[in-house]
Amino acid sequence: MAGRTADPLTVYLAGMAMDAVSCSAALVLSAVLGGHPVLSLIALTSITMLATQFLVFMRTDVYFLLQDLTGCRNMYRDASAYFRHLALRALARPSRDPLAALPRRERRSLRGYTVLLVAGTTACLGVAFTVTLPATLTLLAQATTALTSPTDPLATLDAATVILSIAAFQALWAHTWWRRHAPRLRRARLRRGATQSGRK
């Protein structure tokens, strides 16, 4: 019907359904036509994208689905605030429980999600520093060597593509991070400036 908004659950699950359909179609075609690199790439990409949706410690589709089912307003923000509260208490510093004013069911859900948030973030950082970063640095070193000591035009082109791809990805990540965190950093800077001015 015109003017009727879509069910949020349908919106959250639509992308996952498309990934599942793409993966299934690629696997069926592979079984019918035989192994093919493009079909294998489609299946692997679809499975990867589908699996990452279950990393609920990030704002994935399953995260928003879980947030709606638990009735929480902003699980990531509230759980992060609760973790900061626990960290301050562990350091014997004063802190008010940010969940104190919330309903009991929401508090219980947020405490459980805080465990997932901390464990998942820690695991991701561990993988990033022990696997992703060393692999990326090794790849960059090899590409730089191939680019500075050209022996084959195709190898030079491949090395340039690798460096440009990694640089573009990092630039996109930095831009996204800055857009998300810049307002908070500006507010913190203004608060520090106001505090220092008040002390003078």
CA angle, 46 then 50 then 54, to 5°: 165
> pLDDT tens digits, residue range 18-62?
889 999 998 898 888 876 777 887 888 888 888 888 989 888 889
Joined tokens for residue 170: 């990092």
Assign 72 to helix, strand or coil: coil
Who's near 110: CB < 8 A, 6+ residues apart?
A: 72, 75, 78, 79, 82, 99, 102
Higher pLDDT pick, 84 / 156: 84
Rg, Å, the chain Cα set:
23
Dihedral of the CA atoms 142, 144, 146, 150 (nearest 10)? -170
Mean pLDDT of 81-92: 94
116 Cβ partners below 8 Å, 6+ apart?
56, 57
pLDDT of residue 136: 85
